[in-house]
Amino acid sequence: MNFKLKIWRQREAKSRGKLVDYEVQDISPDTSFLEMLDILNENLLQVGEEAVAFDSDCREGSCGTCSLTVNGEAHGPDHPGAVCELYMRKFRDGATITIEPFRVGAFPIVKDLVIDRSAFDRIVQAGGFISARAGSAPEANSIPVPKHDADLAMEAAACIGCGACAAGCPNGSAMLFAAAKVSHLALLPQGHPERERRVLKMVRVMDAEGFGNCTNTYECEAVCPAEISASWIAKLNREYARAQFRQRMGE
Ligand code: SF4
Ligand code: FES
C-alpha cells in the first residue's frame, strides 16, 4: 500500500508549526500505524532529514503514551483502541492521512507530534492515590469489597491516561479522565479515608490546568481506547457534590 502523509512538524514549543507532505510506499496492510511512522523516519534519516518526533512506549494500548490525531480523530479511525493498535489496513490504498498532535491547550506541543501531558500527572498527584498502608496482596476472598463494586472499580481503573478524551472534546475537558480516577478509588474501601479531599483537590487542579467543562457531547467516550463510559462523569459530579456538602457540614 502507498500513502500520502501530511504531518505536523514543529521544531519546538514556541516555534510555528505546519503540515508537511511525505509519502510512504510498499507498506504491508499488516503494518501498524506507528511502524509506518518508523519506516518513514528510517527513510528520512537515510536522506539526511530529521525524523518526525512522536511518542510511544508499550505499543499495545496500555501505557497511554501514543497521542496522535489521525484524520481529525484522536487515536485515529479504529475505535476503541489507541493509535498504537491501529493498522494500515484500516486505510484505503493511496489515501492521504493527516497526522497531528492532540490539540489541547493544557497539553503544550513539545516538538512535532510530541505533547506534554504532565497536566494529567499533576491531577493525579493532587489526589489520585491512597495513603493507607495496604500491605502486601491479601488473600482475594478476604477483601471486603462487593463483587459489583470491584467490577465497577476495575472498569474505571482501565483508564490509561492517554488524554484522548480531552483531545476529542470540543471544550478540551478532562472530566472523563478525572471521573475514572476519582471513581476507581471512591468505590474501594482503601480509597475512602481521602474520598472527599481527593475529589475536591483533583477537580481544583483540573480547572487550574485549564481544562474545559463537560457539555455532554460524548466525544470523550467515542475516542476513549479503554471504553470508559461518559456516565462516570455523573459519578464524578455526585462525588464532588457530596464532598462539598460534607465539607460545608464540617464533617
Ligand atoms: S478516560 Fe479514556 S481517553 Fe481519557 S485518558 Fe482515560 S483512557 Fe484516555
Ligand atoms: S504506545 Fe502505549 S498505549 Fe500506545
Pocket probe for ligand 2: among 62, 70, 78, 120, the residue whose CB has the most ligand atoms within 8 Å is: 62
Asked whether the beta carbons of 159 and 228 are under 8 A apart, the reply is yes
Q: Whose CA is nearest to atom 7 of ligand 1?
A: 159
> In Å, how far are 18, 22, 129, 145, 192 from 142, measured between CA atoms?
57, 58, 22, 9, 18
Residue with cell string 505546519: 18
Residues 71, 174, 170, 21: is their CA dihedral positive or negative? negative
129: left (phi over 0), alpha (psi -120 to 50) or beta: beta
The CA 59 to ligand 2 mean position distance, Å, reads: 4
Return phi, psi of residue 179, to 5°. -60, -40
**Residue-wise pLDDT tens for the chain (251 aa)?**
999 999 999 999 999 999 999 999 999 999 999 999 999 999 999 999 999 999 999 999 999 999 999 999 999 999 999 999 999 999 999 999 999 999 999 999 999 999 999 999 999 999 999 987 878 887 877 778 899 999 999 999 999 999 999 999 999 999 999 999 999 999 998 899 999 999 999 999 999 999 999 999 999 999 999 999 999 999 999 999 999 999 898 86
Strand partners, 101: 68
Q: 57: Cβ below 6 Å to ligand 2? A: yes
Return phi, psi of residue 230, to 5°. -60, -15
- Which H helix or E strand runs over 4? strand 3-9
Which ligand does the CA of 82 lie closest to? Answer: 2
The pLDDT of residue 232: 97
Q: Within 13 Å and on the Cβ side, how many CA atoms surround 235? A: 21
